[in-house]
A and B are shown apart, each in its own frame.
Chain A
Amino acid sequence: MGVNRYLILKYNEGKTMKERFLEVTADADQNQEAQFDTWLSGKGIPFASSEAEADYKARILLIKDAIQLKKTPQRIPICPSAGFFPIQYAGVSMYDAMYDYDALALAWQKYSDDLTPDAYNAPTTVVPGRVLDVLDFKLGRWPGHGVSEHSEYQYVEKEYMKADEYQDLIDDPTGFFMNTFFPRIFGTLKPLQNMPLLPPVNEIPCIPPALFPFGDKKIQSAFSSLAKAGEETIRWRDAVRRLNGSIMGKGYPAFSGGFTKAPFDVIGDTLRGTREVLMDIYRHPDELIEACERITPFMIKSGVASCKATGHIMPFIPLHKGADAFMSEEQFQTFYWPTLRKVIIGLTNEGMVPQLFAEGGYNQRLEVISDVPKGKVVWWFDLSDMARAKKTIGRVACIAGNVPLSLLCTATPDDVKAYCKELIDVAGNDGGFIFSTGAGMQGSKPENVKTMIEFSKDYGIYQ
């Protein structure tokens, strides 16, 4: 769209830095096909039978057809966002799910076996509690640490980066995270504030001074806490891998396989905090935009790397502060969208399919966010108007969504069925649609989830 380009150009006026991530490259199609082939190959999955393998591939093809907009899939893929629902469904406490990896795996297996959604969400958001304990994590509260054993973990918003530190972040994002941010959010990593700056280590005489800090007992203890946390993470990863092999082995692919974020959200969610980042729009607009630009390549690289690690094609990208209620359309187009669009293009060029989860309402932005390459992304909606989304973004991208959690948590199966029918009628026409929920399903009534999946699988068959 004209306006975005104008803003991007305006911002870059007089700058010499090379402009990247604005156009789709010639090999993007080919890269996407290659990545779909990797996902489809199911390499390394211990399939239970050749039938399960065929089911696995058929389910991926439903999703592929919905994404590429080249043909109507055989039926609508049903891919609700599990959230922490499997934990409550299996009768396990949130504490046990975070501390007992077998309990976590059993819960997830039961969810997939009983409710059989076409794609499941690997439990990578149920992070190992012991790792948070070992590192003395400050950025959240988790079961047994500030919230009850049955509550999900929750963020503690604070100004973890001060306004006058924008320039430090812009100068050296890696150094800022290591020397300033980590010492603030991990109690045991406080000594990392004395880590040396790395680029100056470029000649023989620069080596010894860079090594002084590593001789210090405090930094050594920081590294030993990292080693301990790392070992625990491997135990957790192995349990999650076995679980993933088991669910996929029965024919169910994962709905996403990587993770990244919109640059504005990286700054706003955990560095500056919601209040501060929104005021920065007036107080520090140039620094805010430059910081978003500066971390854009990191967000692209980590999205690509995390997908490559799982052989998947879709990095999950939860969008937090771009919603209608948070800022005006002009602010969205100035501060939020330009760098998010770059992340989208950067991922697309590497063959990935960004899975953009638009939390809240995006009804004021449907036209602006339609400026994406055709058949290359999934726009997943929460409270947005799906009929309008279908008519706008639906022309260029697969849309997903949006059974409301308030319905799943409080209504009856008949109400759920009525909503699903209308949703499929409105958003499902001629493919280009993945059936999902508006948010993670924790708190839902099991009978509502069951009804939603069963009904929609059947009603979503294309004639």
Chain B
Amino acid sequence: MPNDLVDAMVNMREAEAMALAQKMLDAGEDPLQVLERCREALEIVGKQFETGKYFLPELILSGEMLKQISKIARPFMRKESNKKAEAKGKVVIGSVKGDIHDIGKDIVVFLLDINGFEVHDLGVDVPAEKFVETISKIQPAVVGMSALLTTALESMKNTVDVIKNAGLRDQVKIMVGGGAVDEKVRKYADADAYGPDAVAAVNLSKEWVEDKG
């Protein structure tokens, strides 16, 4: 039965996945085990995305299924089972000042989250000072910046500069992405890496967190 849930989620049979999850919970299965099945399914979806078999519709829909199942699982959670697994590492992320687009950034946040990172999402139109303040407070290994608008590229560069001036640049690795961003922009803004998609953001974060030990 647990494999049925994974199969339904991976193959985008939403109604079936929801019914199966509900049935498992009603039958007294550990809600954490149910969520673990969801995580397995999402990992497979992520791999399919990486290899070009799946695209945004599958990524978004599987995320939505997880969200709904988490919601129905909540009342079944016992207090002691509420303990959160230790996060893989911390990531601070946001769309830079002047840009209010969030879809790409949200997909990155979602994938980082299901891959076990503690993500601090600063939202959109984020002033450089807000990045600095959060970096000082949270001490993340990774900072992610997103921009869709070409006019936000200056703002991206400025954000990196402000982090430098605050003396925090050496403490973090900075990754940049979004519709307007490529390797040339990475260089211009003096970030550490450019990621063409959400999977790249996860791989970069894993690599950097491991390096940091």
A-side residues, CB < 8 A to B, are 84, 88, 141, 146-148, 151-152, 154, 156-157, 274-275, 278-279, 281-283, 325-328, 331, 360, 404-407, 409-411, 439-444
Q: Report the minimal beta-carbon distance from A64 to chain B, rounded to whole angstroms.
A: 31
Segment with Cβ contacts to A, from B21-29, B163-171, B175-183: B175-183
**A440 contacts across to B, CB distance below 8 A:** 150
B179 interface neighbour in A146, A156, A360, A441, Cβ under 8 Å: A360
- The stretch that binds A, out of B36-44, B95-103, B115-123, is B95-103
The listed residue (A151, A279, A442) touching B57 by CB distance below 8 A is A279
If A275-B60, A409-B185 touch, whether A283 touches B14 (CB-CB below 8 Å) is yes
Contact A147 B151 (CB under 8 A): no
Q: Could you tell me the distance between the alpha carbons of A146 and B185 in the complex, rounded to whole angstroms? A: 26
Interface bits B124-154 vs A (CB < 8 Å: 1, else 0):
0100000000000000000000000111111
Q: Does the CB pair B181–A281 fall under 8 Å?
A: no
Q: How far is the CB of A46 from chain B (nearest CB, A)?
A: 34
Chain A residues with Cβ below 8 Å from B188 are 409-410
Name the interface size band of chain B: 20 to 34
Which among A156, A327, A406, A444 is the interface contact of B185 at CB below 8 angstroms? A406
Most buried by B among A148, A406, A407, A439: A406
CB pair B56 A327 closer than 8 Å: yes
What's the least CB distance linking B213 to chain A, in Å? 34
Tell whether B64 is near chain A: CB-to-CB under 8 Å.
Answer: yes
With A154-B149, A282-B14, A404-B182 given, can you name 4 additional A-B contacts, CB distance below 8 Å?
A: A141-B100, A157-B103, A278-B61, A444-B150
* Pairwise interchain contact B103-A275, C-beta atoms closer than 8 A: yes
Complexed CA–CA distance, A148 and B155 (Å): 13
Q: Tell me, in angstroms, the Cα distance from A326 to B52 when the chains sit together.
A: 11
Partner of B150, one of A147, A154, A439: A439
- Inter-chain CA distance A282–B184, complex, in Å, is 37
Which 7 pairs from chain A and chain B are nearest by CB? A443-B150, A410-B188, A278-B57, A406-B184, A443-B151, A405-B150, A281-B57
B interface residue numbers (CB < 8 A to A): 12, 14, 53-57, 60-61, 64, 98-101, 103, 125, 149-154, 179-182, 184-185, 187-188, 197
Chain B: which residue is nearest A443 at the CB level? Answer: B150
Contact A152 B103 (CB under 8 A): no
In the complex the two chains form, is B197's CB within 8 Å of A325's CB? yes
Residues of A within 8 A of B150 (CB): 405-406, 409, 439-444
Chain B residues positioned under 8 Å from A88 (CB to CB): 151
Assess the B154–A274 pair: CB atoms within 8 A. Answer: no
Instruction: Enumerate 17 A-B pairs (CB-CB under 8 Å) in ascending A order.
Output: A84-B151, A146-B100, A147-B98, A147-B100, A151-B98, A152-B151, A154-B101, A275-B60, A282-B12, A325-B56, A327-B55, A328-B53, A405-B150, A406-B180, A410-B153, A442-B151, A443-B151
Q: Collect the chain A residues with CB atoms within 8 Å of residue B184's CB.
A: 404, 406-407, 410-411
Nearest CB of B to A44, in Å? 35
Question: Please, which residues of chain A bring their CB within 8 A of the CB of B101?
Answer: 154
Give the contacting residue for A410; candidates B55, B56, B64, B187; CB below 8 A: B187
| Bound: A84/B185 CA distance, A | 20
Q: Please state if B55 and A325 are interface contacts (CB–CB under 8 Å).
A: yes
With A282-B12, A406-B180, A443-B149 in contact, do A154 and B100 touch (Cβ < 8 Å)?
yes
The complex places the Cα of A406 from the Cα of B156 at a distance, in Å, of: 13
Q: How far is the CB of A274 from chain B (nearest CB, A)?
A: 5
Given contacts A406-B182, A407-B184, A410-B188, contact A278 B56 (CB under 8 A): yes
B203 to chain A, nearest CB (A): 17
Give complex CA distance A88, B151 in Å: 10
A325 to chain B, nearest CB (A): 7
**Residues from chain B with Cβ under 8 Å of A409 in the complex:** 150, 153, 180, 185, 188
Given contacts A141-B100, A154-B101, contact A282 B153 (CB under 8 A): no
The minimal Cβ–Cβ distance linking B151 to chain A, given in whole angstroms, is 4
B194 CB to nearest chain A CB (Å): 10
Name the CB-closest residue of B to A410: B188
Residue from B12, B153, B182, B197 in contact with A443 in the complex, judged by beta carbons closer than 8 Å: B153
Residue in chain A with minimal CB distance to B196:
A325
Residues of B with C-beta under 8 A to A278: 56-57, 60-61
CB pair B181–A406 under 8 Å, yes or no, is yes
Minimum CB distance partner of A275 in chain B: B60
Whether A282 and B151, one on each chain, are in contact in the complex, defined by CB atoms closer than 8 angstroms, is no
Distance between A374 CB and nearest chain B CB, rounded to angstroms: 31
Bound complex: CA A406 to CA B178 (Å): 12
User: What distance in Å separates the Cβ of B158 from its nearest Cβ neighbour in chain A?
Assistant: 13
